[in-house]
Amino acid sequence: MDTPAPVARTSPRRRLRRTPPRHAKGSLYDILRRHPRTSLFVRPICWTDQHSRLLGVRFNKLPPCDSPVPIHTGTSSPSKGQLYPSTAIIRLSGSLSDVNARHSPQKAANAIDIIVKTLWPAVFGETDMFPDLSIFFGDRVYREAARAQTMWSDPAHKKPMACFISKFQLAAMRRNIFRVTFGPNRSFNEPVTRLQRARSRMLMPSDPDHDVQIAAIFLAMAQAHFYPKPTGSSKRDSPWHKGPGKPSRPRFRDLTLRVITSNKEVAADGSMSADASAAEFTVYTGHVTARFLERFHEPQNSPQDDGEDGLRIDYTRVPIWPILGLKERMGLALGRDLVGDFDPTVMEQWGEDEVPSSGEERKREILSEVFKASFDETTDEEPRVNAIKNMKKVKKRRIGESSSVGVVAT
């Protein structure tokens, strides 16, 4: 009977240990490696104050642009724009009231577009409502990474130059980020709802003015100047270069961009004050450096040249009311390099329309007739009485027609 051959013993294979790639100190990959238990590599909607600190985002508060405003005294007479509001004043007044629409993001987006194009029609060109702001990281693009309600492109280069998003919309995005499934028999799932609310509160910035979402918007706007527009895809992320070979390195340069927000007083839970006089714009000016963009293009490297590798964001508040002086206040906040040169001491009066309507022509005819009748040299009592009655009628009509003057001059 044959005996089985002895089984040859083989020494166990030594598993080759892969040495982790070494990343430059201070690079984005190095930051991720040094914080292994922190959720840092997430979409910007889940960014927190820690992302601002690690990315070197610095918010710098500037004095408010609260002048010029009209000065009213007891002896000063109302301006022509207050007595007879022009089409521009009526349009601005309605849009400024709608810009803080809490439950209609589309209404607020349309309102801010009307406002800036009324103030500077030649500056704010193509408008993109609810744009898809993608963020590029290494060789991949992450679609719909940042959110905005309105974006304006430079008329000359067709590249993003300014965005708008309300503070209330920023808070609402965080409150609604987590979905809650129904309980048994499609009942309200209260425990999970409380848990998701607690998670949403953890994403709220400690200071509403220092929102890291603003930094994400600046990053996405700046990258759109140098990367090709991503093609449509159902995937949230994919390689941004699909051609053969390695893509050419973008020639980054420093950029200055703006983000406009509107708010009254936004609390940590996203609620707003009902005081209309507290309504204001907050204008952010982002100084995006080439070094900051290089960190996201090559996350394994850290820029070697001396310079600022973070993101500096200046911001200032601009009171919405009164309308008189709003163009100059907003112009100071946005900067002359964007809106052009102007004299901040001379307020746009928004006077009468260049082509008055038939109703306005009729009002002027009545007014001139009244004044002619009141100054006619006559001894008859009846013409004088009729002139006084006509003046009273015109005065009542003027008060009724200029009911929006209180909004204009408040």
**Does the CA dihedral 220-221-222-228 come out positive or negative?**
positive
Q: What is the pLDDT of residues 262-284, one digit of tens each?
A: 876 544 444 555 445 568 999 99
From CA 254, how far away is CA 309, in angstroms rounded?
Answer: 11
What pLDDT is stored for residue 346 in this prediction?
87
Q: What is the pTM of this model?
A: 0.77
The confidence band for 388, taking pLDDT boundaries of 50, 70 and 90, is: very low
Q: Stretch 171-192: mean pLDDT, rounded?
A: 79
Looking at residue 349, what DSSP letter applies? -
Q: Does residue 356 surpass a pLDDT of 90? A: no
- The answer to the question of residue 265 being in a domain is yes
- The answer to the question of residue 370 being in a domain is no
**Does the CA dihedral 398-403-409-410 come out positive or negative?**
positive
Q: Which stretch of 9-18, 296-305, 383-392 has the lowest confidence by average pLDDT?
A: 383-392
Structure tokens at 69: 């405003």
- The answer to the question of residue 256 being in a domain is yes
What pLDDT is stored for residue 101 in this prediction?
74
Q: Which stretch of 196-205, 256-265, 374-383 has the lowest confidence by average pLDDT?
A: 374-383
Structure tokens at 252: 């980054």
Q: Stretch 128-134: mean pLDDT, rounded?
A: 92
What pLDDT is stored for residue 53 in this prediction?
93
| Environment class of 295 (CB within 10 Å of its CB; exposed 0-12, middle 13-18, buried 19+) | buried
The confidence band for 133, taking pLDDT boundaries of 50, 70 and 90, is: very high
- The answer to the question of residue 106 being in a domain is yes
Query: What does the H/E/C string look like for 1-14?
Result: CCCCCCCCCCCCCC
Q: Stretch 395-406: mean pLDDT, rounded?
A: 40
Which of 19-28, 346-355, 400-409 has the highest average model confidence (pLDDT)?
A: 19-28
From CA 18, how far away is CA 20, in angstroms rounded?
Answer: 6
Residue bearing tokens 């309600």? 149
- The answer to the question of residue 347 being in a domain is no
Q: Which of 148, 100, 407 is nearest to 279 (CA)?
A: 100
Q: In terms of pLDDT, which residue wins out, 353 or 325?
A: 325
The confidence band for 288, taking pLDDT boundaries of 50, 70 and 90, is: very high
Q: Stretch 383-401: mean pLDDT, rounded?
A: 46
- The answer to the question of residue 145 being in a domain is yes
The confidence band for 192, taking pLDDT boundaries of 50, 70 and 90, is: confident
From CA 370, how far away is CA 376, in angstroms rounded?
Answer: 10
The confidence band for 381, taking pLDDT boundaries of 50, 70 and 90, is: very low
Residue pair 65/318 in contact (Cβ under 8 Å)? The answer is: yes
Q: Which of 303, 323, 317 is nearest to 93 (CA)?
A: 323
Q: Does residue 395 surpass a pLDDT of 90? A: no
DSSP class per residue in 169-213: HHHHHHHTSS-----GGG---HHHHHHHHHHHHHHS-SSTTS-HH
Q: Does residue 360 surpass a pLDDT of 50? A: no
Q: Does residue 342 surpass a pLDDT of 60? A: yes
Q: Stretch 63-92: mean pLDDT, rounded?
A: 78
Q: Does residue 65 surpass a pLDDT of 90? A: yes
What pLDDT is stored for residue 345 in this prediction?
87
Half-sphere exposure of 340 (CA within 13 A, CB side): 8
Q: What is the pLDDT of residues 89-115, one digit of tens each?
A: 889 989 998 888 777 889 999 999 999
What pLDDT is stored for residue 404 in this prediction?
38
- The answer to the question of residue 346 being in a domain is no
Q: Stretch 349-367: mean pLDDT, rounded?
A: 51
Q: Stretch 78-85: mean pLDDT, rounded?
A: 66
The confidence band for 39, taking pLDDT boundaries of 50, 70 and 90, is: confident
Q: What is the pLDDT of residues 205-262, one digit of tens each?
A: 999 999 999 999 999 999 999 998 887 776 777 878 777 777 788 899 999 999 999 8
- The answer to the question of residue 330 being in a domain is yes
Q: Which of 248, 43, 246, 250 is nearest to 135 (CA)?
A: 43
From CA 403, how far away is CA 359, in angstroms rounded?
Answer: 16
Please tell me the total count of domains within the chain. Answer: 1
What pLDDT is stored for residue 377 in this prediction?
42
Q: Which stretch of 50-59, 285-294, 305-314 has the lowest confidence by average pLDDT?
A: 305-314
What pLDDT is stored for residue 76 in this prediction?
64
What pLDDT is stored for residue 351 in this prediction?
67
What pLDDT is stored for residue 82 in this prediction?
64
Q: In terms of pLDDT, which residue wins out, 261 or 201?
A: 261
H and E: helices and strands count for the chain = 14, 10
* Residues paired with residue 32 on neighbouring β-strands, in sequence order: none
Quote the domain boundaries for residue 120. 28-69+84-166+208-339
User: Average model confidence (pLDDT) for the chain?
Assistant: 78
